[in-house]
Amino acid sequence: MKEKLENYCKALKKLGEALKLTPTEINRDATIQRFEFTYELAWTTMKTFLFKLGIECLNPRDCIKAAFKQRYIKENSEEIWLDMIKDRNLSSHVYDEETSKKIYGRIKNRYLKEFKALRKEFEAKM
């Protein structure tokens, strides 16, 4: 669990660094890539923490819903996390500049905050 959390925290830090850069096309692409890494580590870390509670989940949606029930994810944030699933799928399967800009905006304005809140919950549970 500790190693999973450390990796998640590193990815989150890198995502934050990317968001501080001027959002040129290259920086936007790099930010989206870092979002993908952070998202993957978020849900797999959820999976690890939930497994310790005896809860098994096999995919991001199930893990997010279980994390919500266990209050790793705040009450008003479940929909944002479900939106993350959609954007993660979009970012890896479709590329056009307009979609990229929209996903970047959601990362900056919504998702980073949720990733940080999740980190705090994980740290509190350690």
* Domain harbouring 49, CATH code: 1.20.120.330
Q: Could you tell me the residue range of the domain that residue 119 belongs to?
A: 2-125
Both tokens of 52, joined, read 């310790």
**26 has a pLDDT exceeding 90:** yes
pLDDT tens column, 58-86:
999 999 999 999 999 988 999 999 999 99
pLDDT of 94 above 90: no
How confident is the model at residue 21, as a pLDDT?
A: 97
For the chain, what percent of residues have pLDDT higher than 70?
A: 100
Q: How many domains does the chain have?
A: 1
Give the model's pLDDT for residue 73. 94
**What integer pLDDT is reported at residue 92 of this predicted model?**
81
Mention every residue, 6+ apart, whose C-beta is less than 8 A from residue 78.
64, 65, 68
pLDDT at 22: 95
pTM of the model: 0.94
**pLDDT above 90 for 15:** yes
- Residues 27 and 21 sit within 8 Å (Cβ to Cβ): yes
